[in-house]
A and B are shown apart, each in its own frame.
Chain A
Amino acid sequence: KNEVEQSPQNLTAQEGEFITINCSYSVGISALHWLQQHPGGGIVSLFMLSSGKKKHGRLIATINIQEKHSSLHITASHPRDSAVYICAVSRYSNYQLIWGAGTKLIIKP
């Protein structure tokens, strides 16, 4: 079993829909990251969080440390949100990031 699991692997939705991507992890962490990768390959950090909830524009990230679970929500989705969304965690004992497999999101106009 992978230490970081994301679901779903693929998600196709219509423009305007509310999107939820889930991330579960099985190790002790110091922080969880949500990142976005566009088709060209570049990766952008969206959020880093260790508790609670963060919001940036139409994006919301939540984390439940007790349940070892995080969600990324996109409100009023738009075709430009189409990308791969990746969850990664930082461990206390090791500075390296542990990566989820990513969720490929396609928003249709």
Chain B
Amino acid sequence: SAVISQKPSRDICQRGTSLTIQCQVDSQVTMMFWYRQQPGQSLTLIATANQGSEATYESGFVIDKFPISRPNLTFSTLTVSNMSPEDSSIYLCSVGSAGQVGTNTEAFFGQGTRLTVV
């Protein structure tokens, strides 16, 4: 299993500012995933972060808006840049299933960051 510490757990931010969310895993993992969950919706994958390479972004998400760092195998950050009220969501990091291509493992999640942009 993997234990993920995600912070902050929640924040209220002014529009136009940026927020960086951190995830620390208690073991080394190849891939980390960043998700967004808008109110009342299911999870949407933002990007996949591999250590030592650029993150791979899903359709509709761009690096300028959601820059990601992955400096080592246990840590990653997601920044939500130039925020607007539409960015108000829960943001979650995840490892595991899908942590290694072709390997089935359970999915483990951080506690989530509940972001409100005013």
Please tell me if the beta carbons of A99 and B104 are within 8 angstroms of each other in the complex.
no
Which residue of the partner chain, among A41, A44, A99, contacts B42 with CB atoms under 8 Å?
A99
Please tell me if the beta carbons of B112 and A97 are within 8 angstroms of each other in the complex.
no
A6 to chain B, nearest CB (A): 9
Which residue of the partner chain, among B42, B43, B102, contacts A95 with CB atoms under 8 Å?
B102
Among A40, A88, A97, the one with the most B-chain Cβ atoms within 10 Å of its Cβ is A97
Interface residue count on the B side (C-beta < 8 Å): 28
Interface residues of A in 3-50 (CB under 8 A from B): 30-31, 33, 35, 40-45, 48, 50
Interface assignment of B37: CB less than 8 Å from any CB of chain A: yes
How far is it, in angstroms, between the C-alpha of A40 and the C-alpha of B101 when the chains are bound? 30
A99 to chain B, nearest CB (A): 5
Which residue of the partner chain, among A33, A42, A99, A101, contacts B97 with CB atoms under 8 Å?
A33
- Closest A residue to B91 by beta carbon equals A41
Interface assignment of A90: CB less than 8 Å from any CB of chain B: yes
